[in-house]
Amino acid sequence: MSGSAQKGQAERLITSEPRNGSIINVEVPTHIAGVLDFASGVVGVIVTSFDIFNSSMPCIEIYGTEGTLQVPDPNYFRGEVKLKRFREEVWATVPLLVPVPDDPKGKDDWHLLNNLRGIGVTDMAEAITEGRPHRASAELTYHVLDVMHGIHDASTSGKYYELTSSCQRPEPMV
């Protein structure tokens, strides 16, 4: 893989509580771009940034031989997943396996809509109960960390980074 990582600013203004209004020194790269060469031959591009403000781009977009998939903000586990198949005129909405209410009616619904980061732990608990492997495995976690550090190492060294890890694709949720 190859990569480039830079700091967009030397200082940042914190805009969330409890330190809203504080200025901090930026100590790590905040704009990262990587080119990933998968074992299957697929080439992927990833850009992550704290230095893009008010973009109208989708949070995640995946381009394939059969079409394009748009995925909403992964921080909230909600929003529409859209699919535009090759040679089709319109985008289709992909139904979610677990429906999430669009209009929160109370505190419990708001919590459900805005804090689904524990879904990996939920999957792990269900997997243990069901006697199946869970998706957020140590192998997958280490591989993701290897990719993240590899992009930084490629940027720092100016050289292609060869991953030292690999992992099996997690089974889909059904």
Give the chain's end-to-end CA distance (angstroms, integer): 32
pLDDT at 21 > cutoff 80: yes
pLDDT band at 99 (very low <50, low <70, confident <90, very high): low
- Could you tell me if 166 and 143 are in contact, meaning their C-beta atoms sit under 8 angstroms apart? yes
* 35-57 average pLDDT score: 88
Give the separation between CA 160 and CA 79, rounded to whole angstroms.
36
Q: What is the pLDDT of residue 110?
A: 53
Q: Tell which wins on pLDDT, 119 or 9.
A: 9
Q: With a cut of 90, say whether residue 153 has pLDDT above it.
A: yes
**List of long-range contacts for 114-117, beta carbons under 8 Å, 24+ apart:** 114/76, 116/76, 116/77, 116/78, 117/75, 117/77
Q: Is pLDDT at 109 greater than 60 in this prediction?
A: no
DSSP for residue 17: T
Q: What is the mean pLDDT of residues 86-98?
A: 87
What average pLDDT does the chain have?
A: 86
- The domain spans of the chain are 2-14+22-157
For residue 5, pLDDT over 60 is answered with yes
Average pLDDT, integer, range 10-39 = 94
Class of domain 2-14+22-157: alpha beta
Average pLDDT over residues 107-111: 55
Mean pLDDT of 60-66: 90
